[in-house]
Amino acid sequence: MLKFYHAPWSRSSSVLWLLEELGAEYELHEIDIRAEGGAPESYRKIQPNKKVPAIEHDGVVITERAAITIYLADAFPEAGLAPSVDDPMRGPYLTWLVYCDSVFDPCIAARVWGLEYKSNDYSFGLFEDLVDNVERRLTENDFAAGNRFTAADVQLASGIHYTMNVLKALPERPAFQNYLARIADRPAYQHSTKKDQEMAMAIPFFQKQFADGGS
């Protein structure tokens, strides 16, 4: 049994997309992280910081998006989303998967909150270096790990879409726009996006936000 702990329109939306790409059967447990007081205290037994995503597979709990993505892509090899250990793409695949959590996300957060710092002050480095690195990678390669779509693209594309098109923190660059265009027609992406929106619209937080004219 695979249980998936999810909050729509959150960092766990990328794992929802991944599960659709894998064609995996799962039991979805919706966690209302936007409720007054946040997620229920009981959820801390699954995720100690009460964050999403998290999964539980045959009684084993896995948290953190990179770990979840690596685990799931390896657990469902028939989908072909994880390069094998002897595949030259395995190294870039793991690099970009972890990069999304360890560099991309914290650099964006630091930028949005106006944190001023030097490169060596924090392990994730500078925002400008992040932008240049991702742009260079997607100019030289069609996908994160190389010339084909992998589970790493679920995380990278989700991050670029949200931070560039919604948060408006990542600058619009042709390499980013072209990359997202290569992703947009994937049936699993379209299905998970629709599913996520339907769940979001049933949550009081978003109902109020849209009723007040927000977006």
Give the torsion sign (CA, 146, 150, 156, 160): positive
In this structure, the strands spanning 27-30 and 2-6 are parallel
Q: What is the pLDDT of residue 102?
A: 98
- The secondary structure of residue 164, as a DSSP letter, is I
Per-residue pLDDT for 215 more than 50? no
Give the torsion sign (CA, 21, 168, 105, 133): positive
| Region 2-79: CATH code | 3.40.30.10
Give the torsion sign (CA, 157, 159, 165, 168): negative
Q: What is the pLDDT of residue 213?
A: 64
- Rounded Cα distance, 54 and 9, in Å: 15
Q: Indicate the domain borders of the chain.
A: 2-79, 90-184
Q: What is the pLDDT of residue 209?
A: 79
| Structure-block tokens of residue 161 | 């879409």
- Rounded Cα distance, 209 and 211, in Å: 5
In the predicted model, what is the mean pLDDT of residues 182-191?
A: 97
- Rounded Cα distance, 187 and 165, in Å: 20
Omega cis (within 30) before 187: no
In the predicted model, what is the mean pLDDT of residues 158-174?
A: 98
Summarize pLDDT for 77-122 with one digit per residue, the tens: 999 999 999 999 999 999 999 999 999 999 999 999 999 999 999 9
- Rounded Cα distance, 8 and 215, in Å: 15
206-213 CB contacts, 8 Å cutoff, 24+ apart:
206/9, 206/34
Fold designation for 90-184: Glutathione S-transferase Yfyf (Class Pi); Chain A, domain 2 (1.20.1050)
Listed residue (91, 192, 101, 200) closest to 145, CA to CA: 91
- For 61, residues 6+ apart whose C-beta sits below 8 A from its C-beta are 46, 54, 55
Phi, psi torsion values for 42, nearest 5 degrees: -60, -25
DSSP string over 50-113: --S-EEEETTEEEESHHHHHHHHHHH-GGG--S--TTSTTHHHHHHHHHHIIIIIHHHHHHHHT
Summarize pLDDT for 123-136 with one digit per residue, the tens: 999 999 999 999 99
